[in-house]
Amino acid sequence: STTTGDFKVADLSLAAFGRKEIKLAEHEMPGLMSIRAEYAKTQPLKGARIMGSLHMTIQTAVLIETLVELGATVRWVSCNIFSTQDHAAAAVAVGPNGTPENPQGVPVFAWKGETLEEYWWCTDQAMSWPGEAGPNMILDDGGDATMLVHKGVEFEAAGAVPQPDDSDPEEYHVVLETLRKSLATDKQRFTTMAAGIKGVTEETTTGVHRLYEMHKAGTLLFPAINVNDSVTKSKFDNKYGCRHSLIDGINRATDTLIGGKVALVCGYGDVGKGCAESLRGQGARVIITEIDPICALQAAMDGYQVTTVEDVISIVDIFVTTTGNKDIITAAHMEQMKHQAIVGNIGHFDNEIDIAGLAKLPGIKRDEIKPQVHEWTFADGHTIIMLSEGRLLNLGNATGHPSFVMSNSFANQTIAQVELFTKQGEYDKQVYVLPKHLDEKVARLHLDALGVKLTELSKDQADYIGVAVEGPYKPDTYRY
Strands annotated E in 122-198? 137-140
323 in contact with ligand NAI (CB under 6 A): yes
Under the binding rule (CB under 6 A), the answer on residue 295 touching ligand NAI is yes
CB 50 within 8 A of CB 139: yes
Shorter beta-carbon distance to ligand NAI: residue 178 or 204: 204
Q: Does 290 bind ligand NAI (CB under 6 A)?
A: yes
CB atoms within 10 A of CB 110: 34
Q: Is 428 exposed, middle or buried (0-12, 13-18, 19+ CB in 10 A)?
A: exposed
Rounded least distance, CB 267 to ligand NAI, Å: 3
The length of the chain is 480
Applying CB under 6 A, which part among 10-18, 90-98, 219-227, 234-242 lies near ligand NAI?
234-242
Task: Confirm or reject binding of residue 107 to ligand NAI (CB under 6 A).
Answer: no
Q: Which of 124, 140, 202, 270 touches ligand NAI by CB under 6 A?
A: 270
Task: Tell me the CA end-to-end span of the chain in Å, nearest whole number.
Answer: 47
C-beta closer to ligand NAI: residue 103 or 400: 400
Contact in structure between 346 and 274 (CB atoms under 8 Å) = no
- The answer to whether the annotation marks 347 as part of a ligand binding site is yes
Q: Which residue is at the shortest CB distance from ligand NAI?
A: 269
Residue 233, annotated as binding a ligand: yes
Comparison of 44 and 269: residue with beta carbon closer to ligand NAI: 269
Instruction: Provide, rounded to whole angstroms, the least separation between the CB of residue 195 and ligand NAI.
Output: 29
Region near ligand NAI per CB under 6 A, out of 147-155, 185-193, 231-239, 440-448: 231-239
Stretch of 71-79, 170-178, 316-324, 440-448 lying at the interface with ligand NAI (CB under 6 A):
316-324
Residues 446-455: contacts with CB within 8 Å, 24+ apart? 446/30, 446/31, 446/404, 446/407, 446/408, 448/30, 449/28, 449/30, 449/404
Q: Is residue 324 near ligand NAI by the rule CB under 6 A?
A: yes
206 is in an annotated binding site: yes
Amino acid code (one letter) for 422: T
348 binds ligand NAI (CB under 6 A): yes
238 binds ligand NAI (CB under 6 A): yes
Between 49 and 235, name the residue whose CB sits nearer to ligand NAI: 235
Instruction: Answer for the pair 348, 390: CB distance below 8 angstroms, yes or no.
Output: no
Cβ nearer to ligand NAI, comparing 153 with 343: 343
Q: Does 269 bind ligand NAI (CB under 6 A)?
A: yes
Strand partners, 319: 264, 343
Helix (H) or strand (E) holding 446: none
- Residue 204 lies near ligand NAI (rule: CB under 6 A): yes
Q: Give the footprint of ligand NAI on residues 379-408 (CB under 6 A).
A: 392, 394, 401
Q: Where are the alpha helices (DSSP H) in 96-143?
A: 116-127
Going edge to edge, which strands form the sheet with 285-289?
305-306, 285-289, 262-266, 318-321, 341-345, 383-387, 373-377, 365-370
- Options 21-29, 264-272, 411-419, 472-480: segment touching ligand NAI (CB under 6 A): 264-272
What does the alpha-carbon distance between residue 326 and residue 318 come to, in Å, rounded to a whole number? 19
Nearer to ligand NAI, 291 or 359 (CB): 291
266 binds ligand NAI (CB under 6 A): yes
For residue 108, give every residue at least 6 positions away whose Cβ sits within 8 Å of its Cβ, in sequence order, or none. Answer: 7, 8, 9, 56, 75, 76, 77, 89, 92, 93
Q: Is 272 annotated to bind ligand?
A: yes
Among 125, 206, 307, 383, binds ligand NAI (CB under 6 A): 206
Binding mask 119-148 for ligand NAI (x = CB under 6 A): ------------------------------
* CA pair distance 139, 417, nearest whole angstrom: 8
List active site positions.
Answer: 55, 78, 83, 141, 203, 228, 233, 237-238, 242, 348, 401, 409, 413
Closest CA to 437 of 215, 230, 159, 189: 230
Residue 412 in the binding site for ligand NAI (CB under 6 A): no
Q: Is 136 annotated as a binding residue?
A: no
- Strands (DSSP E) along 126-175, which ranges? 137-140
Round to whole Å and give the CA distance between 5 and 33: 29
Q: Annotated binding residues, as ranges?
A: 57, 141, 203-206, 233, 237-238, 267-272, 290, 325, 346-348, 394
Q: Point out which residues bind ligand NAI (CB under 6 A).
A: 204-206, 234, 237-238, 241-242, 266-272, 289-292, 295, 322-325, 328, 346-348, 392, 394, 401
